[in-house]
Structures are given as structure tokens and as C-alpha cells.
Structure 1
Amino acid sequence: TRCGENLYMSSDPTSWSAAIQSWYAESLDFVYGVGPKNPNAAVGHYTQLVWYSTYQVGCGIAYCPNQDTLKYYYVCQYCPA
């Protein structure tokens, strides 16, 4: 089964809501049935969130203290993608 993944990085701890909202915000550049409003629009995080056949979602956080700035990694995997 092929799965998709979204990644959100932050220098400080943040809420899952903030991470998911950042992915969902791409919906402003997406037209259902058409695709991106322009060819350079980033909409992959959004389409992963709303993919019609996905029925399994797993999310986790990793703290990486040795990184210079982005120390918190929020990851969700979606299956199937």
C-alpha cells in the first residue's frame, strides 16, 4: 500500500491544530475538480488531508535538540494515498 506524508517543522513546540491548519491553508489555492489555481501553487499537503480513499491516519512528533533552529517535527502519514 502506498502512503502519503505531511511534515511540519517548528523551532518551538506548537499545537497539532497549528500544523494541520498550515496544511489546510493550501485549500485557498485549490479548485475541486480542477486542481491548483496556478501551476506553481503548493497544494500537496491539502490534497493529502482530504484524499478520498484514505482511511488510515497516523501522526507523531519528533524532538531533535541537536538541530540549529527547527527542532520539532510533526508528521502524519495517510494510507492509502
Structure 2
Amino acid sequence: MAGAVPPGPRLRADARRNSEQIRSAAIGAFQGQGLTVPLEEVAKAAGVSKATIFNRFGGRVGLIEAVIEEVVARELFALI
């Protein structure tokens, strides 16, 4: 979107990669096990520490907020 303000400071390449790995792992975990899956499992699947999830997303709620639209979209697409 032209003229959009980025949501936060620019991330280093490794931090951006970690964030994407966490998002991907969370989407898979939430789809397979629900929103209460232990964050340790998400972190392990992403190849990061649980602390990295808290640093990047603020915890479970922030992580859910970051991926919920994609989780719901995938669930709806699976119904088609």
C-alpha cells in the first residue's frame, strides 16, 4: 500500500526470518492443535526460543493476533 507507515522499526534479516518462522510454526500448530498449544512447541517448530516469541510478539495473545487472519482463511479454504 503506497504511503503506508511500517508497523514498527525495521528488523535485521535474522530477526525478520525468525518472525516468519514463528508465524509459520504458529499457523501450523494452531490449525492442528488449537490456540492453546504450548508456546514451547511453537518455538521448537520455529527453531527459536520461547523468549524470542515474547520478544517479537509479546506472548500468546500477540502471536495469535499476528496470525489469526491466516489461520481462519486456511480453515475456511479447507472447507471449500
TM-score range, shorter chain: 0.3 to 0.5
Quick one: higher RCO (CA 8 Å, sep 6+), 1 or 2? 1
Q: Which structure's residues are more often helix, by fraction?
A: 2
Give the TM-score of the pair, scaled to structure 2. Answer: 0.34
Q: Which structure's residues are more often strand, by fraction?
A: 1
Give the TM-score of the pair, scaled to structure 1. Answer: 0.34
